[in-house]
A and B are shown apart, each in its own frame.
Chain A
């Protein structure tokens, strides 16, 4: 959604430009809505077609689009990114880096304390677990989309592979969560490589379409392979995680009984909270380390310029595959966690909606930025809950908020890039220099 050249060169492209743009939008709206709104059809009592026209509504709609387009363009001019500043201004840099340095530890400490502070508020704890799951998924997808620049619309497939791996291994073979967790990650990574092979040569839209299809294929297999996956009924009775073999249940061998404290179902929630927190932090730690290793630099270089990578002797095939596999592995971990938390999984949990949500988190956060992704997950998942009171307008408000954010910060909350190695100054790189890859 980059601003047109006219808006780039001067802050005020002039009334003519705005008017023209609004006119085009209105025209498109007219064509689109003339059938959708302009004509209303219904089946009559004898099955015959009844239709009547609603040109008034149509006119109102087109007028709204026309006016909205003007307002939108004006907003973009007032709030949009200024001109073409290629260097992050020093003042902004220092504030950002200070905020960046502060936000992360503060958030981390706060997250650690959430179960203590909100011990009696089950709702908040559940929400916290949900947010952390999406933080982890976001960080996992960030490897593929943010670092390697490969647009993956089927990330939920790996989430599903992880979840079903754990669910099936645990229910069929009685393996414990802690054994299945790495297995789920490995299996998901394996599927990541399998998906990687056919899409290696694809770029941009084609890559997006194939990954999207892959996500759907996995879901359809889960839905139809009744004998193994249980089909639409899913897998039930997935065991809960144990603490070194001690279940967190109300029984005599449960943790509460052993510690001699009164059993409370909250124990398990808190336990789950810390598991997903640990998993998310592991994802973060590994990603940060990988970025400073040759493989991580190769991912970013691949995003910047694939041809140059090949000229430098970098095997772009394996580099892409490792990115897919690493991202998939984290997705698999998250999936295994999801299965153990829910105790029940079905293909319904792994629709395209999930892929889109995770991708939105990555894009909104600023591709490549770990902190940005975490903040975006908090805003998306937490914010969505915040608007719960608005009922049916929730989606609308939420969509508006996202559109505004994308106008204000087209490259996400934290769009600039931190270098992986430096000699003297660790200075952030402005987002307009950083490429977005083939996505």
Chain B
């Protein structure tokens, strides 16, 4: 399996004191594909995300991101905001982190901060209202409008993000991440708390992000219907280690996964897996 990898995680480990949250984990995410990272609660999935996006400094291991132009970046050497700015890795959070007191539109404008900062001549051109700044601002608003339209929130663009229904907030957070024009989009349980209809809409959105924008997606998800439907590749974690990987088909039929995923009760596990499809 030697595909075109946008992200290669190599022997990643993360310890918190005595807890080994991630233990010697290696996996690849293919370019323009959806890679799902699944596993039971506390498996260490979010910790992997936090390492990739620079919120945690991994205890050991390497993470390599290769852009379309072949430019490779070692993520463990960047920190903090630079991963989003330079490596163009965007993320969403398991517990939604929007700017609740700002409107949906403003949320998407903040996401374009770095591009707009440049356009506003580090604020000085913007302060005097230079035409180049005005054009850039209009372009940013247009991009935000496009995304609001795609997630079906155009009508609620001027409402406070904190006032939107839960499902809308989830989609808005994805749109906000997309407004940073990422190469790799990391989604932490985007379908959590969504109803069946909303989940279906989410799947569609993610597929279109992959095909229309060519953005690679790394997805943590507990909702198996979403995982099975849209992922190209699935990595299964348990207790910080990788226990299996493969296509959704292979994963679904892997007894090791089923056992780990839903405890020892395999009957129930199979039932849930099947109802999910």
Contact = CB atoms under 8 A, between A and B. Distances in A.
13 contacts: A289-B126, A290-B127, A294-B123, A295-B117, A298-B110, A307-B93, A308-B97, A314-B114, A419-B158, A422-B157, A423-B154, A426-B158, A429-B103
Contact of A294 (B85, B120, B159): B120
Contacts of A314: 81, 110, 113-114
Interface string B64-78: 000000000000000
Contacts of B85: 313, 315
Nearest to A420: B106
A425 interface: yes
A305 interface: yes
A294 B83 CA distance: 20
Contact of A295 (B102, B123, B180): B123
A311 B84 contact: yes
A249 to B, nearest CB: 36
A421 interface: yes
Nearest to B136: A294
Contacts of A316: 80-81
Contacts of B54: 310
Interface string A403-434: 00000000000000101111111110110011
Nearest to A436: B101
A304 B102 contact: yes
Contacts of A75: none
Interface of B: 53-55, 80-85, 90-91, 93, 97-103, 105-106, 109-114, 116-117, 120, 123, 126-127, 141, 145, 148, 154, 157-160, 162-163, 176-177, 180
A335 B114 CA distance: 34
B163 A433 contact: yes
A308 B98 contact: yes
B127 A289 contact: yes
B113 A297 contact: yes
A289 B128 CA distance: 9
A73 interface: no
Contacts of B99: 300-301, 304-305, 308
A73 B103 CA distance: 35
B103 A419 contact: yes
A289 B176 CA distance: 23
Contact of B158 (A286, A293, A417, A422): A422
A366 B210 CA distance: 44
B109 A424 contact: no
Nearest to B92: A311
Contacts of A305: 97-100
A427 B159 contact: yes
Interface in A304-339: 304-305, 307-316, 322
Contact of A435 (B55, B101, B158, B176): B101
A312 B126 CA distance: 21
> In this complex, which of A297, A313, A316, A422 has the most chain B Cβ atoms within 10 angstroms of its Cβ?
A313
A201 interface: no
Given A286-B127, A311-B91, A313-B113, A423 B157 contact: yes
A293 B145 CA distance: 18
Given A309-B81, A430-B160, A434-B101, 12 more contacts: A290-B123, A294-B123, A304-B102, A307-B97, A309-B110, A310-B55, A311-B53, A312-B113, A312-B180, A313-B83, A313-B84, A421-B109
Given A304-B102, A423-B105, A311 B158 contact: no
Quick one: which of B91, B99, B163 has the most chain A CB within 10 A?
B99
Contact of A304 (B80, B100, B127, B159): B100
A315 B98 CA distance: 17
B126 A294 contact: yes
Contacts of A310: 54-55, 80-81, 84
A293 B120 contact: yes
A102 B230 CA distance: 55
